[in-house]
Amino acid sequence: MIVHSIFFYFFSIIAIFSSLMVITSRSTINSVFFLILDFISVGCLFIMVGAEFLGMILLIVYVGAVAVLFLFVVMMLNVAEQKQSWFIGRKSTHIPTGLIVSVLILLELLVVVGGWKYKEDVMSSSTLIISDISNTHQLGLVMYTDYILYFQLAGVVLLLSMIGAILLTFRERVGVKKQSYLKQVSRSPVTAVELVEVKSDQGVKIDD
């Protein structure tokens, strides 16, 4: 047990430290790196409590894909300049908004954790099957039977947001030459090469 707690405190100290560094570090790139460290240590904590599937999915989805995009955006935008005006500017709305959101999250956490701790019937019992089958199978058994509708609904919401994101960023560009692979492959010397009599001083118009 002592080794277990040593590892637990190790990962949780790293997680808390890095989440503090995310919001306090001066350079935005560094905060993204600390965010990644935070994700990884939380993933390790998940694995320590036996939720190995969740831990791995956290690593794959958040660290492997989402944080890469974060890093991308932060590298491409020059966020360091805007950062100054967020804190110094008089009409900053970011701090009140952030406060409201964080108070809401704190309230939600209090309700959930309090309910879980002191009122047994708040939680439905089917989520906590305790048996010797593996974590992944347990999740599958619950997700594809009792909660199949919510699961599908979540998929539909994600699909909708994906379509929305594509629509928002889509712009039709004019004057762009598109290559048709079928055309390129199916060309033969007979149709591709054209012999032209070039008159002197006039040249040929190649592009049409």
Q: What are phi and psi of 96, to 5 degrees?
A: -60, -45
Query: Are the C-beta atoms of residues 126 and 146 closer than 8 Å to each other?
Result: yes
Closest CA to 63 of 22, 33, 86: 33
Residues binding another protein: number (CB under 8 A): 25
In the complex, minimum distance from the CB of residue 179 to another protein, in angstroms, rounded to a whole number? 8
Residues 60-89 that bind another protein (CB under 8 A): 60, 63-65, 68-69, 71-72, 75
Query: Which of 9-17, 56-64, 112-120, 194-202 is the region at the interface with another protein (rule: CB under 8 A)?
Result: 56-64
| Sign of the CA dihedral running 133, 136, 139, 144 | negative
Site map (CB under 8 A) of another protein, residues 155-194, x = contact: --------------------------x-------------
Residue located via tokens 């692979």: 181
200's tokens: 């002197």
For the bound state, the minimum distance from the C-beta of residue 102 to another protein, rounded and expressed in Å, comes to 28
Place of tokens 């040593």: 6
Cα R_g (the chain), whole angstroms: 28
Q: Which residues bind another protein (CB under 8 A)?
A: 2-3, 29, 33, 36, 52-53, 56-57, 59-60, 63-65, 68-69, 71-72, 75, 133-137, 181
